[in-house]
Amino acid sequence: MMRWSLYGIGSVPLAAAVLAACSDDAKTNSGSATKSEKTAEDPVKKWWLEGNFAPVKKEVEEFDLDVKGAIPTALAGLYVRNGSNPSSGDSSHWFFGDGMAHGMRLENGKAKSYRNRYVQTSLYKTGADFGSSPPGGETNQGNVSFINHGGKLLSSGEVGFPYELSPEDLSTVGAYDFGGKLTGNFTAHPKIDPATGNLHFFGYGFTEPFLMYHVADATGQLIHSEPVPAKGGTMVHDFAITEKDAVFWELPVVFDMEGAVQWIEDPDSGAMPFKWDPEFGARVGVMPLGGPASAIQWSDIDPCYVFHGVNAHRDGANVVLDVCRLSSMFNTDGEFAGDLSLRRWTVDTENNKVRDEIIDTDDGAELPSRDPRIVGRPYRYGYFVQTRPTEGTVDMGGLIKRDYKNGTREIWDPGPKKHTGEWLFVPDPDDKGEDAGYLLTYLHDDTTEKSELVIVDATEIKKGPIARVAVPQRVPYGFHATWVPV
């Protein structure tokens, strides 16, 4: 099996960076604490401040960008990707930088504009470190993902409230709490039901309620919130929906109070708020979509960890769920992150049993994307970035397209000196076929030290990019993106 190189790099501070202390009842904090000065040299090599991981210093704006190839006219909108970009030039890890939006507007076959803008959170405005005060509410860096829903472009961190940005110029409108109805956390991976337009999302915390489930209607109004029965405080990064179900996985990366307190007091201490505890157990929960959460049915699985699900759907009494599975995470026995494999979990809801099927162990597939029109429905294709084996850093290479019907895969490799990130699938509005659309990401070339937006036809990925758009400045490696149609 392939050792995962995206999160499991072997440095303890990364654990705190992946998901910091997050409590649903954490008080909203303006981030008034200032950055503390270090009294000793940091022993961890800060690879996240080197090469194309390093932050860019300027917010730029440029129009009518150079294009090689042809941008499909079907692509009319804004591609915007989030990432970590510490405004001070320093951070205790890659995941602790201030959020930065990198947006490219496409229209009429042209690249109309590029902008990069900081997400102006309370922490960014005061220059405070994440961890200088309890995370929650406005106190987060909004640096993980973007969500386009209900006429709003929202920037999400792992915890706290999302921040609203203007899709016109990427300026920050402010923290968004759904008109005061959201009192807990908003995670980075909500799901939009393509049938209703409803946004299903959750938040987790260290104290009861450990897991909260929410629904916002198609206009963005929060219409439902309730606690989900959970065993304790665990790290829940993602979940899934079907046309009938909300699907959670409760896995043995558990809250560690001592580590959390130490981490909040000193983010560079090497402490972490979570630890690997296989004795806690692992299980998958299926509840009715929209509630009630009291009807959730839990089924036990072998201990593991999953950051990202691919998709899920109903098949009679079964719920079929595809995930990127790690054999362990935050393991203190010398193995920081375990082996990565693609898995299919088939949950028998009548007997509360799960069949765990290995799909692939060799391609290093992570950061999955799918056609948003078939979220929660039977589907055929998943799209992934291919992570490359490496020591002491992260190396994301090419594009993987997996055909779940035929059990095959296709790969486009840009070459060893070129690196991509998450590939966002944008549907062709004139073709309803599942694979009809385009895959977008930013690509960086080590040899030229330049970045570009690349566009791949999802039906012909082996041909590589059909269009490349020069970016006026380097785009550091980042996290998740969304598409805002014109």
- Taking CA atoms, 169 is separated from 117, 118, 172, 174, 393, in Å, by 8, 11, 9, 14, 33
The pLDDT score that the predictor gives to residue 428 is 97
Q: How far is CA 116 from the centre of its chain?
A: 19
Q: Which CATH number applies to 2-35+44-485? A: 2.120.10.30
Which residues does 186 contact at the CB level (< 8 Å), separation at least 6? 156, 160, 161, 162, 201, 203, 214
In this structure, of 181-195, 324-338, 469-483, the range with the lowest mean pLDDT score is 324-338
Q: How many helices (H) and strands (E) does the chain have?
A: 3, 34
Taking 90 as the threshold, does the pLDDT of residue 158 lie above it? Answer: no
Taking 60 as the threshold, does the pLDDT of residue 421 lie above it? Answer: yes
Residue reference for tokens 């299919």:
344
The pLDDT score that the predictor gives to residue 75 is 98
The pLDDT score that the predictor gives to residue 96 is 84
The pLDDT score that the predictor gives to residue 71 is 98
Model confidence pLDDT, tens digit, residues 48-73: 999 999 999 999 999 999 999 999 99
Which residues does 273 contact at the CB level (< 8 Å), separation at least 6? 16, 19, 20, 21, 206, 255, 256, 259, 260, 263
Contact 383, 396 (CB under 8 A): no
The pLDDT score that the predictor gives to residue 40 is 42
Which residues does 15 contact at the CB level (< 8 Å), separation at least 6? 272, 274, 330, 336
The pLDDT score that the predictor gives to residue 406 is 96
Contact 20, 263 (CB under 8 A): yes
pTM of the model: 0.90
Cα–Cα distance for residue pair 180/329, rounded to 1 Å: 35
- Comparing 276 with 335, the larger pLDDT belongs to 276
- Comparing 134 with 116, the larger pLDDT belongs to 116
Taking 90 as the threshold, does the pLDDT of residue 433 lie above it? Answer: yes
DSSP-derived secondary structure letter, 329:
B
Mean pLDDT of 329-347: 82
E-strand ranges in 122-252 read 145-149, 152-156, 163-165, 172-175, 191-192, 199-204, 211-216, 222-227, 240-241, 245-250
Encoded tokens for 447: 């040899």
Helix boundaries (H) for 140-291: 257-265
In this structure, of 38-42, 220-224, 405-409, the range with the lowest mean pLDDT score is 38-42
Cα–Cα distance for residue pair 14/47, rounded to 1 Å: 12
Q: How far is CA 356 from the centre of its chain?
A: 24
Taking 50 as the threshold, does the pLDDT of residue 13 lie above it? Answer: no
pLDDT band with cut points at 50, 70 and 90 for residue 384: very high
Of residues 56, 126, 45, the one with CA closest to residue 475: 56
- Angle 83-388-146 (CA atoms, 0-180°, nearest 5)? 20
DSSP for 314-366 reads EETTEEEEEEEEES-BS-SSS-SB-EEEEEEEEEETTTTEEEEEEEESSS-EE
The pLDDT score that the predictor gives to residue 6 is 41
Contact 142, 156 (CB under 8 A): yes
The pLDDT score that the predictor gives to residue 326 is 93
Contact 219, 195 (CB under 8 A): no
Average pLDDT of the residues of the chain: 89
The pLDDT score that the predictor gives to residue 323 is 98
Cα–Cα distance for residue pair 133/30, rounded to 1 Å: 9
Q: How far is CA 304 from the centre of its chain?
A: 19
The burial of 389, by beta-carbon neighbours within 10 Å (0-12 exposed, 13-18 middle, 19 or more buried), is given as exposed
